């Protein structure tokens, strides 16, 4: 059941009509303008924590994007690593990410993954990066594909 729930969360991009209408009314009433400064500050602090943790903990050969908005970053692992194959180990280790291939054409993006930094606290982001870095190190050592 947990695997099905995770798959739905990673693939479901649709929202119902009632929810869309509620968001529209919220926006029309100024809700976004009132809360944007707080949201920007929150996501900026989460990105700063994630970026620092990635810099400290990721092994050589791992790169990532710096978002200019939102709460997602893309990691690029060494070419020989496959983020689809690594995902079960990451989940078992307590880290969830979205593998890159669905966002690429053909068989590209096998070594990329998308991370969100919206939900976890700064401390939890540090822990998650440590777990993910350990999995990447092990895979690099094994020369996995």
Q: How many domains does the chain have?
A: 1
Tokens of 139: 């895979």
Q: What is the pLDDT of residues 54-87, one digit of tens each?
A: 999 999 999 999 999 889 999 999 999 999 999 9
Q: Which whole number is the average pLDDT over 99-116?
A: 94
pLDDT classification of 7: cutoffs 50, 70, 90: low
- Report if residue 7 sits inside a domain: no
Phi, psi at 64, each rounded to 5°: -155, 160
| Spatial contact of 105 and 43, defined as CB atoms under 8 Å apart | no
List strands edge to edge, sheet with 63-64. Answer: 63-64, 72-76, 112-116, 98-99
Q: Is the pTM of this model over 0.85?
A: no
- Report if residue 110 sits inside a domain: yes
The parent domain of residue 55 ranges over 43-142
Q: Does residue 140 register a pLDDT over 60?
A: yes
Whole-number pLDDT of residue 17: 78
- Report if residue 107 sits inside a domain: yes
CA distance 136 to 58: 8
User: To the nearest whole percent, how much of the chain has pLDDT over 70?
Assistant: 90
CA distance 47 to 73: 9
- Report if residue 9 sits inside a domain: no
- Report if residue 50 sits inside a domain: yes
Per-chain mean pLDDT for the chain? 90
Q: Does residue 95 register a pLDDT over 80?
A: yes
User: Which residues make Cβ contacts (< 8 Å) with residue 84, sequence separation at least 6?
Assistant: 99, 101, 110
- Report if residue 5 sits inside a domain: no
Q: Where are the alpha helices (DSSP H) in 1-145?
A: 2-11, 17-28, 31-57, 83-92, 122-142
CA distance 72 to 43: 10
| Spatial contact of 29 and 107, defined as CB atoms under 8 Å apart | no
Q: Are strands 112-116 and 72-76 parallel, antiparallel or unpaired?
A: antiparallel
């Amino acid at each position: 059941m947990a695997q099905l729930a995770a798959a739905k969360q990673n693939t479901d991009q649709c929202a119902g009509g009632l929810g869309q209408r509620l968001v529209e009314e919220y926006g029309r009433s100024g809700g976004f303008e009132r809360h944007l400064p707080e949201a920007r500050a929150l996501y900026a602090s989460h990105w700063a924590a994630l970026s620092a943790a990635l810099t400290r903990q990721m092994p050589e050969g791992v790169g990532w994007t710096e978002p200019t908005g939102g709460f997602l970053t893309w990691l690029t692992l060494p070419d020989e690593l496959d983020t689809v194959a690594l995902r079960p180990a990451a989940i078992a280790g307590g880290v969830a990410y979205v593998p890159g291939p669905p966002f690429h054409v053909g068989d590209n993006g096998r070594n990329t993954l998308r991370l969100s930094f919206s939900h976890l606290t700064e401390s939890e982001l540090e822990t998650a990066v440590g777990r993910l870095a350990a999995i990447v190190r092990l895979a690099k050592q094994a020369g996995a594909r």
